[in-house]
Structure 1
Amino acid sequence: MSELSRVVVVLNPNSTGDGPSNARGLRDELDGVVDVELVETQHAGHAEDLARDAVRQDPGTLVVSASGDGGYHEVVNGVFDAGRGMAAVLPSGNANDHATAVQERPLGEAIRAVVGGEPVTRMDLLEVSGAGRRRVAHSYAGVGITPVAAAALNEHDLDAVKEAQLVVRAFWRYRPLTITHDGNDISIDSLVFANIDRMAKYAQLAEGSAPDDGRYETLLIPHRSKLRLVLDFTRVLRGAHPVRSRSEPYEFTTHTPMPLQLDGEVFHVDAGSSVTVRCLPRALRTVL
């Protein structure tokens, strides 16, 4: 008997991207295979509530986010918070890093296979807690210039020259951050925690990393100079910057307020906040 009893597709009706049309296409493709319901978000954060309510109503629900990585972030948190159900992404954004990294076949084909008896897949999640907040990330979390610059590139459809200009502006305005880790104060330009091997379409983090291995990768760029930062960022784009694979939690304390990016979504962390990042092995049930 299949673990999947129905599909709920969450979409933003005001999206200028492919989400609404992709959602309708998936519904038509699965007609006669499994019940599919389309639900529309009304405001920021609504996808998380819709996902949580859907799986609480029926634990066999697969909640599909017809969006990019940010929309999927909300759906994953709703499903995770409910402690049941499944989540998947129907890639409809600009970068679609998560889908590119993990999906080996079209989502409709994968859903058909699970309805036919194929088991669902379990994947790791990153848990980020601190400052009175607890979130999970399906792909990456980060502070500093790398997630900021990568997200800026992700938001624009530019040619190579304009992309370079955008990066230069972001780097020129950037100021280093200071954290305390293992009792040491560290001035950093970037700190990224990754569950997949890429970030925001351009940045290559760790070739060969797997989102179900019970580990995550950390990329740390200490502060040196503007020129060195640009060189380090180009190494990240080429996948040449060293990373460290770890299974143990990473704890740090912020010295100044700083933006924290989770799957492209931005959350602000106050100065003096203690933040812990850990891997939650096989915490998400999904369809690939």
Structure 2
Amino acid sequence: MLIIFNPVAGRRRAQRLWRVLDIMATSGVRLEIVETQYAGHATTLARAAAHGDGRTLVVAAGGDGTIAEVAAGLAGSDCKLGIIPIGTANVLAHELGLNFSPAGVAAALAFGRTVTLWPGAAAGSTGTRLFVQMLGAGFDAQVVRNLSLSLKRAIGRASYVLQSMRELGRYAFPPIAVSLDGVVSEARSVIVSKGRLYAGRYLVAPGCRPTDRGFSVVLFERPGAWQAALCGAALPFDMIPQMPGVRVIRAAHVELDCSTAPAQTDGDPCGSGRLVIDDAPGSIAVVVG
């Protein structure tokens, strides 16, 4: 079993990985661990394992961004994707109902069933990026772009709250042109979601599942720091879909003009410009408990 480990997860969260490995090693499972060295390295490693070495299971040990990179490398193969959730938010792991205990993770990797995941694919000027949970454009991408890695390592999800407060006073909330299955509108921030959850276990898109084709698109149509602060306060109470100025719309094909706004996929910056978003060409089998 190949495990692709993102060491950026930090020492404390990586302890879960070592406990999982100890349990699996005592069960006689043969393990190979490779650490990522740079952005995109997990994709290269996963592609070589699935398409070159003929692996049947590759495990992503990290957060949603690491999972997305590994998924991109497995695309077009029959290799299954396993997950050891040691990221900051672990949204996909929550979405799939994974067991976070070391014993539960080890059992799932050894004996778990699989579900079919349909990633999203965002095509832009710098190429196409797969995402497993969501693409954000506007305010949340600004937070991701300016977030300090050292702060993220030190205080985890609280770092996003702190950075959001910093950005409220300086982000301009420029308009983003949106096309949903050909219907054009405008928003100040957008979340293109494959699942129900956002930023951990917070509900933003009821009924949306990463095992289905298509997206739930959350449009934040009102500009300004006050509106963003209200939505931030509503997030822990799962009230985003009910907020004034917020619409949640299903779509199979999404186009965003992010010429004046940043974008991010699964918590990693992905630049700006025009983005064309569809389901990835193929599905991926993910091992769950």
TM-score (norm 2): 0.80
* Aligned twin of 2:244: none
Q: Give the 5 Å matches for 1:34-53.
A: 34-53=29-48
* Aligned twin of 1:204: 203
Report the CA distance between 1:52 and its aligned residue. 0.9
Runs (5+) with no aligned partner, structure 2: 242-246
Q: Percent identity?
A: 23
Is the 2:213–2:252 contact (alpha carbons within 8 Å) kept by the matching residues of 1?
A: no
SS for the counterpart of 1:268 is: coil
Alpha carbons of structure 1 residues 15 and 198: separation in structure 2 relative to 1, 3 Å: closer
* Superimposed CA distance per residue, residues 176-232 of structure 1 (whole angstroms, 9 cap, x where no aligned partner): 233333488865321001112222237531244322132321111124333223223
Is the 1:147–1:192 contact (alpha carbons within 8 Å) kept by the matching residues of 2?
A: no
Is the 2:218–2:249 contact (alpha carbons within 8 Å) kept by the matching residues of 1?
A: no
* Aligned twin of 2:129: 135
Structure with a larger share of its residues in strand: 1
2:73 equivalent among 66, 78, 82: 78
Which amino acid counterpart does residue 82 of structure 2 have in structure 1? Answer: A
Is the 2:131–2:265 contact (alpha carbons within 8 Å) kept by the matching residues of 1?
A: yes
CA RMSD of aligned residues (A): 3.2
Which amino acid counterpart does residue 286 of structure 2 have in structure 1? Answer: T
* Aligned twin of 1:252: 256
In 2: Cα distance, 1:207 partner to 1:127 partner: 21
Alpha carbons of structure 1 residues 202 and 34: separation in structure 2 relative to 1, 3 Å: closer
In 2: Cα distance, 1:40 partner to 1:211 partner: 27
Aligned length: 272
Is the 1:9–1:23 contact (alpha carbons within 8 Å) kept by the matching residues of 2?
A: no
In 1: Cα distance, 2:9 partner to 2:44 partner: 19
1:109 equivalent among 107, 123, 127: 107
Alpha carbons of structure 1 residues 20 and 103: separation in structure 2 relative to 1, 3 Å: same
In 2: Cα distance, 1:54 partner to 1:192 partner: 32
* Aligned twin of 2:270: 267
Is the 1:145–1:174 contact (alpha carbons within 8 Å) kept by the matching residues of 2?
A: yes
